[in-house]
Structure 1
């Protein structure tokens, strides 16, 4: 198979640096929330804020890319994110919980842009390289899994208020990301194809392949976000495990989200996307079983690793299937709808995680995720994508 073009590697390296914003917020958002929030039930609101911001920004970001091109949109949003990272640092410094949540919601605009990297990579390659391009870009998340929590810890005491320095360091990562993304080049498409309005969205969403792709990615993200958001609160705040152990579990989880991308293209070629996504649902089920069985560090670690693997198989599976539902000139509106549905559902999951884990406890919270896994399972078994 021919090598991947420069665009894919630029996007991979850029994602490695800037997706650190997500892993940083997942790691410290609930901890800063616990310090600043007026109520324990609001402790995970900062984590939910970045996800809500992502969900709300998905459609506007896609429309900006359609109007101005991917490159200009990427660079403009990264520049904006440098300022927002500093705003987050300032909000901690002045002990403003709601300003902190607002700044994280604005960082969600950056995350919405980063989530378009996989589509930009897929557009840069031939159809036979789509699974490899999508999985390669997501490999950048492995580095992000370490960089985000690492700058969180190193920046915690860098300035007077805990974790203020962490977001200052994040601003520097966005600076480097801006430099890297300046090497990205827009992909040219046929003028006739570009000018054609394409099919109405109502016709596109009637396709079974569209719903299989969206439901697998959507429910996979919702379950992953729900459990992941609640983990630092349950593990560190409620069970009293150390910050280092909590960091290790979150880092391991995020590595497990992206490390399988080394072989997912190979898995798709060998067993097909259907079996890979079914394996992802099985990984989620085992994850819930392990997490339910105890509160030791090993239980958290094992369950969060499987949570990451399950997410990877469902998310990449859905991402690989989605282009089968649209033509090139329809891509922005379909991608925008796909992203809004995925991250809107994820936002609901993240918003409710803190309340549910405090109200029902860790075990009962886990049980509530089981019906969500039945939805993609039913879609896969009914439609049987190739």
Structure 2
């Protein structure tokens, strides 16, 4: 097999550093909000600000990178992350809740760009045959970030002494500096949309039925993972396990969200992209069914969350590669922006619904709600065979 190009390796490093920044932010944003909030009811406002910032930026980010290229786009992203981290660090030192909200909003703008690493991997692939390996390597690098982020959050630099969480945001800014340096090694023209020649007939940017089928498939996979992931710590705690036990379960989940990416090229070669995606649906269904068992022990939680992580990986990676077959190069910017909005919106809705379902009927209800989504994903995958042109040989 051909060795990955410099661009693919650089994108993998960017994905790892982005995952580090995102998981670090996730681990401290709600805690820092609770520390500074003038009222307990406002403690999750910084988290909401991050989500809002990402939602507002996720479509414009696609157009920015089409004009600037992936190299400048991801360096700009890192600069935004440095600025947002500095504002949050200053907010903790000054004890200003609303300055913290502003900083987390800026970090939401930063996080929106992270949705485009999988598409940048498609740009960096030197041939259609290399696409599966490129997406798998770049996505799989996220496992490093999932493990490193919480570590930096708990072992942050001691520059600000006793000021809670200020050091974590300082660490986040340093991660963003490393991100900017790493992405400077990308090719300058990677991902740039070249202007049409004078007098040329504009190519169509229409997004057909196959595009929306593949996008809905990605959205279903992300929604299922988010429902399970957000409710799991609550269920583990309610079952009588401590915070350490919960951390172990979530580490298994994060590891199996990303590690299977390294065998995806082999699986896709064996099963095809639809077979890879179907394996993810089956794994996710298995985890949901196990969650209906009344006596939930720690080992069972690890199995359920491991299957959920693996299911997300296969569905999301398979869906992304199917998506790449549904639009022309002229429609790339619009297609990637629309897909990111659909996936992110499903993620936001699922994160809000997870708490409601768990409070209403517990862990079993959350997983029961996932089963109709997985049934829709299976139907979409079957429909993809008719609406997406499939090659005679597996990708």
TM-score, length of structure 2 as denominator length: 0.86
What are the residue-to-residue correspondences of 1:184-199 with 2, within 5 Å? 184-185=186-187, 186-187=189-190, 192=196, 197-199=202-204
Query: C-alpha displacement at 1:263, in angstroms?
Result: 0.9
- Counterpart for residue 168 of structure 2: 166
Distance 1:189 1:48, change over 3 A: closer
Counterparts of 2:69 and 2:338 in 1: how far apart (Å)?
Answer: 18
Preserved contact between residue 145 and residue 254 of structure 1 (Cα < 8 Å): yes
Preserved contact between residue 21 and residue 176 of structure 2 (Cα < 8 Å): no
Counterparts of 1:112 and 1:223 in 2: how far apart (Å)?
Answer: 20
Residues 160-207 of structure 1, C-alpha deviation per residue, up to 9 Å, x if partnerless?
254432222111111111111111112267664897643143xx2x33
Segment drifting more, 149-158 vs 223-232: 149-158
Is 1:296 aligned to residue 284 of structure 2? no
Q: In structure 2, the residue corresponding to 1:54 is in which secondary structure? A: helix
Counterparts of 2:241 and 2:82 in 1: how far apart (Å)?
Answer: 33
Preserved contact between residue 122 and residue 131 of structure 2 (Cα < 8 Å): yes
What are the residue-to-residue correspondences of 1:85-104 with 2, within 5 Å? 85-92=85-92, 100=100, 102-104=102-104
- Counterpart for residue 70 of structure 1: 70
Unaligned residue ranges in structure 1 (runs of 5+): none
Which structure would you say has the larger RCO, counting Cα contacts within 8 Å and 6 or more residues apart? 1
Distance 1:302 1:380, change over 3 A: same
Query: C-alpha displacement at 1:124, in angstroms?
Result: 1.7
Counterparts of 2:356 and 2:17 in 1: how far apart (Å)?
Answer: 31
Counterparts of 1:152 and 1:322 in 2: how far apart (Å)?
Answer: 35
Is 1:134 aligned to residue 135 of structure 2? yes
- Counterpart for residue 342 of structure 2: 341
Query: C-alpha displacement at 1:352, in angstroms?
Result: 3.1
Query: C-alpha displacement at 1:115, in angstroms?
Result: 1.8
- Counterpart for residue 383 of structure 2: 382
Counterparts of 1:311 and 1:93 in 2: how far apart (Å)?
Answer: 39
Preserved contact between residue 78 and residue 179 of structure 2 (Cα < 8 Å): yes
- Counterpart for residue 229 of structure 1: 230
Counterparts of 1:368 and 1:43 in 2: how far apart (Å)?
Answer: 28
- Counterpart for residue 115 of structure 2: 115
Q: In structure 1, the residue corresponding to 2:324 is in which secondary structure? A: helix
Preserved contact between residue 212 and residue 379 of structure 1 (Cα < 8 Å): yes
Q: In structure 1, the residue corresponding to 2:340 is in which secondary structure? A: helix
Counterparts of 2:64 and 2:44 in 1: how far apart (Å)?
Answer: 30
What are the residue-to-residue correspondences of 1:1-386 with 2, within 5 Å? 1-29=1-29, 38=39, 49-92=49-92, 100=100, 102-125=102-125, 126-155=127-156, 159-185=161-187, 186-187=189-190, 192=196, 197-201=202-206, 204=207, 206-207=208-209, 209-236=210-237, 238-239=238-239, 241-293=241-293, 294-384=295-385, 386=390
Q: In structure 1, the residue corresponding to 2:113 is in which secondary structure? A: helix
Query: C-alpha displacement at 1:31, in angstroms?
Result: 5.1
Residues 2-33 of structure 1, C-alpha deviation per residue, up to 9 Å, x if partnerless?
32211110010111112112223444455556
Query: C-alpha displacement at 1:95, in angstroms?
Result: 6.2
Preserved contact between residue 157 and residue 168 of structure 2 (Cα < 8 Å): yes
Counterparts of 2:384 and 2:91 in 1: how far apart (Å)?
Answer: 48
Query: C-alpha displacement at 1:90, in angstroms?
Result: 4.3
Indicate the RMSD between aligned Cα atoms, in angstroms: 2.8
TM-score, length of structure 1 as denominator length: 0.87
Preserved contact between residue 10 and residue 181 of structure 1 (Cα < 8 Å): yes
Counterparts of 2:24 and 2:111 in 1: how far apart (Å)?
Answer: 12
Tell me which structure has the larger Cα radius of gyration. 2
Segment drifting more, 183-192 vs 109-118: 183-192
Counterparts of 2:86 and 2:252 in 1: how far apart (Å)?
Answer: 27
Unaligned residue ranges in structure 2 (runs of 5+): 391-395
Q: In structure 2, the residue corresponding to 1:199 is in which secondary structure? A: coil
Preserved contact between residue 30 and residue 233 of structure 1 (Cα < 8 Å): no
Residues 255-301 of structure 1, C-alpha deviation per residue, up to 9 Å, x if partnerless?
11110110111111111111111111111112122334344332332
| Count of residues in Structure 1 that have an aligned counterpart in Structure 2 | 380
